[in-house]
Chain A
Amino acid sequence: EVQLVESGGDLVQPGGSLRLSCVVSGFTFSNYWMTWVRQVPGKGLEWVGNIRQDGGDKNYGGSVRGRFTISRDNSKNSLYLQMNSLRADDSAVYFCARDVRATGAHDYWGQGTLVTVSS
């Protein structure tokens, strides 16, 4: 069974940093692009960024580029999102998702982890 489990969400002050993790199981992690998506409760989905199978190619959405960094450790079946210079509008549920080949579509999602940026 494919599973993705996010962790690391927390309450953090504006300007602070946070690192999210996503541990996967049930598939060969190193074969897939992986993506982070976020959603403010009650609002729409926002694409955060993705990373290639070997970690050598990463792309980011405009609102997080330069502040967030995606990485992965294929030996640990883990995906990470390092978030720096956090702002109030970064508050959201963060999902990790597996991509369908190189299509940019996401066929499996985690349950999400909540990040709240507030003083």
Chain B
Amino acid sequence: QSALTQPASVSGSPGQSITISCTGTSTDVGGYNSVSWYQQHPGKVPKLLIYEVTDRPSGISSRFSGSKSGSTVSLTISGLQAEDEADYYCSSYSSTPPSYVFGSGTKVTVL
């Protein structure tokens, strides 16, 4: 399976909102709601931000939100903060064959 397509980098100023897209196909993102988002700081373990497209685990800031349109899901970070500078990955269930696939990753830079 090919990795889901994410922009290599996104940047924004503190306080702004940014959106990271994640594009797949009808056999993964477009066909299922088992989509999640992760944040990974350098040298750290990935942290779950969003699951099932829009749900936030306990303890995750409401500044992080997810959405979906067709075969593209998006992660929006509002009120951008310096600590949000990290790599972000999406992940989706893929049906052929049953498995999961990660996105290519997006580096977020806070200007």
Contacts and interface: CB of A to CB of B under 8 A. Distances in A.
Contacts of B36: 103-106
B46 A104 contact: no
Nearest to B104: A44
B64 interface: no
Contacts of A45: 38, 40, 46, 89, 91, 102, 105
A47 B97 contact: no
Contacts of B38: 45, 106
Which range holds the interface residue count of chain B?
20 to 34
Question: From DSSP, what is the main secondary structure of chain B's interface residues?
Answer: strand
Which range holds the interface residue count of chain A?
20 to 34
Question: From DSSP, what is the main secondary structure of chain A's interface residues?
Answer: strand
When A and B form their complex, which 8 residue pairs have the shortest distance between CB atoms, in order from nearest? Answer: A105-B51, A105-B36, A44-B105, A45-B102, A109-B45, A47-B100, A104-B34, A59-B98
